[in-house]
Amino acid sequence: MKHGDTRGSREAAVDDIDRALLALLEADGRISYKEMSERIGLSSQAVSARVTHLVERGIAKVIGSIAPEVLGYDRFATIAVTVDGPIEDVAAALVADPATDLVAVTVGDIEVIAEVVCRGEAELLRALDRIRCVPHVVSCVAYSYLRIFKYAYAREGILSIAGTALPGSGTAAPFALDETDKKIVEMLRADGRATFTDLAAEAATTYATARRKYHRLVESGVVRIRTVFDPSRLGSEEVVVVFIDAVGDLTDIGEQLAELSEVTIVMTTMGPCDLIVEAVCADMTALADFLGTRLRAVPGIVSADAYPLLRVDKLAYTWAG
């Protein structure tokens, strides 16, 4: 998603042909343009142009999803940032930071919400220090993830990035990744439809080796090819992040929140709040009902501070469940 996109500029997201193409990509992210052409009834050139347009508009992206711990990432946190100057400048600085996977502008006493993924506590601390040093940042509060109850990776969520691996989960590759494997993985994370020729060139190896290594990575489950979506571009009108304080059994509360149809993310955190929830609602009426009735009906919730997302400036899709 490009920096500067706003909810106010949302266009009619997709037509029926686009939706058919998205469904095919969701089922098989590496389906060929020729096969899509045969199923949809358009030329391969037209299919290629439409898919490219969908990706360029940030509606969908095919990625190679890999468990974060396989690459050494084991610390995840949502960062709440308050600002005393131009939000645009702060958001742009956070977009440029390599540790951020998400940067979103919101409404309320928090101006920007970011997500960071790091290798260890020291790297997380350095990321927080960089954010604190951005001009006009007044405060930077970190909510480290403890347990994830629900983390949608596809159409349902906009913060759906980090997957469910957490410190101590023990996720690891079933075999050691060599340097060629790692280069192929990195390219697939950026483009799940990269050709074997592209993978071979990136990894400085032969076509046959790239093809063999790709199949081993996918068949072993190290890499999963996913098509991920931005719900704000597919007709979902209101995306909100809710910081919740609760009393009682957080496991029980988290499981109940995960059952709510609007909820796409639920996790317990270490920080000023007990849980963070993301929800996607059809419109303001549905959002008001969710926040005022359905959410507060869950036993144990003491307070719920909601932050509707005005704009998403960075959505890297690094992880996808």
Tell me whether strands 301-315 and 263-270 are parallel, antiparallel or unpaired: unpaired
Indicate if the pLDDT at residue 3 is higher than 80.
Answer: no
What is the C-alpha separation between 34 and 122, in angstroms, rounded?
Answer: 48
CA distances from residue 223 to 170, 179, 180, 213, 298 in whole angstroms, order as listed: 17, 15, 14, 11, 37
**For 296-314, what is the mean pLDDT?**
92
What is the C-alpha separation between 314 and 95, in angstroms, rounded?
Answer: 6
Task: Give the list of residues 6+ apart from residue 66 with CB closer than 8 angstroms, or none.
Answer: 185, 189, 222, 223, 224, 319
Task: Give the list of residues 6+ apart from residue 87 with CB closer than 8 angstroms, or none.
Answer: 105, 111, 112
What is the C-alpha separation between 114 and 149, in angstroms, rounded?
Answer: 20
User: Whole-number mean pLDDT of the chain?
Assistant: 84
Q: Where are the alpha helices (DSSP H) in 276-315?
A: 284-289
Indicate if the pLDDT at residue 157 is higher than 60.
Answer: no
pLDDT band at 220 (very low <50, low <70, confident <90, very high): confident
Partners of 305 in the β-ladder? 243
Indicate if the pLDDT at residue 62 is higher than 80.
Answer: yes
Length of the chain: 321
pLDDT of amino acid 275 = 97
Pick from 96-100, 116-120, 164-168: least confident: 164-168
**AA identity, residue 5:** D
